[in-house]
Amino acid sequence: MQVISSSRSEWIAPFTGLEPGQFRTLVRVVAQRGGEAIADGRPGRQWRLTLPDRVLLVAVYWRTNLTMRQIGPLFGVSHSAAHRVVDSLGPLLALAPVRKRRVDQVAIVDGTLVPTRDHRIAARSKNHRYSTNLQVAIDADTRLVIATGDPQPGNRNDCTVYRDSGIAEQLVGRPVMADGGYQGNPEVIMPYRTPRDGRDLPEWKDDLNTVHRTVRARVEHALARMKNWKILRDYRRAGHTLATTASGIAFLHNLTITG
């Protein structure tokens, strides 16, 4: 028996974080990307769930981080079928590359630790858990996520992960703001550092640092909102799927802002 269905709009907001209109937009995007054409992986056998219900299953899974044995019965399918739904539709929810941008568009980048159980990609990090370092960039004006990097072991610093994750290439050609942990990347705008001899910063540099902190806080707010999708608090799936999941959650985050 199916408990949760997209036909009942009251289930959508509490279980996905999206309003019904935003969810319908998400379903249209997935359909345009080929969601309707995906079969069940077996010749002649179609999905038991409709496309809106399959999209809802993925969104609920990301939002609640329930196990597949818990998600499956909620939608009236087996846990293995729930696995296939997530594996098939997850990549279709990924954040689309930004095609057009202003020349003066400023991006803000920061990294966050995602606890990840797959030790092939995770490493013990400063949160005392095996984690990965996920780089996220937002537009400073709209606060929309414009890029996510490939997750790297959590014991690596932001200054190297910025380059190794590929997000530096995605942001090339635009001004990029970050905190002081991105040393060694001269194209990144960072706050002024206190002189090593103990002297105070000039007042004008101190004022610029205050403005820098105020603007850069926007990316920290975006990271906090992305972690409302609880799968980013304890990632149990294979490590190689985290990049796609993070990109999909970035897309959902953008939908909640733009509608």
| pLDDT grade for 173, boundaries at 50, 70 and 90 | confident
Average pLDDT over residues 163-169: 95
- Mean confidence (pLDDT) of the chain: 90
For residues 235 and 130, the answer to whether their CB atoms sit within 8 Å is no
Q: What per-residue confidence (pLDDT) applies to 126?
A: 87
Q: What per-residue confidence (pLDDT) applies to 46?
A: 74
Q: What per-residue confidence (pLDDT) applies to 35?
A: 81
Query: Of residues 5 and 222, which shows the higher confidence score?
Result: 222
Flag whether pLDDT at 41 surpasses 70.
no
| pLDDT grade for 99, boundaries at 50, 70 and 90 | low
Flag whether pLDDT at 199 surpasses 90.
no
Q: What per-residue confidence (pLDDT) applies to 101?
A: 59
For residues 187 and 167, the answer to whether their CB atoms sit within 8 Å is no
Q: What per-residue confidence (pLDDT) applies to 243?
A: 95
Distance between CA atoms of residues 142 and 64, nearest Å: 27
The DSSP bridge partners found for residue 113 are: 133
Flag whether pLDDT at 38 surpasses 80.
no
Average pLDDT over residues 185-194: 91
Enter the pTM of the model. Answer: 0.89
The tens digit of pLDDT for each residue in 115-128 reads 999 999 999 998 88
Flag whether pLDDT at 238 surpasses 90.
yes
The tens digit of pLDDT for each residue in 220-229 reads 999 999 999 9
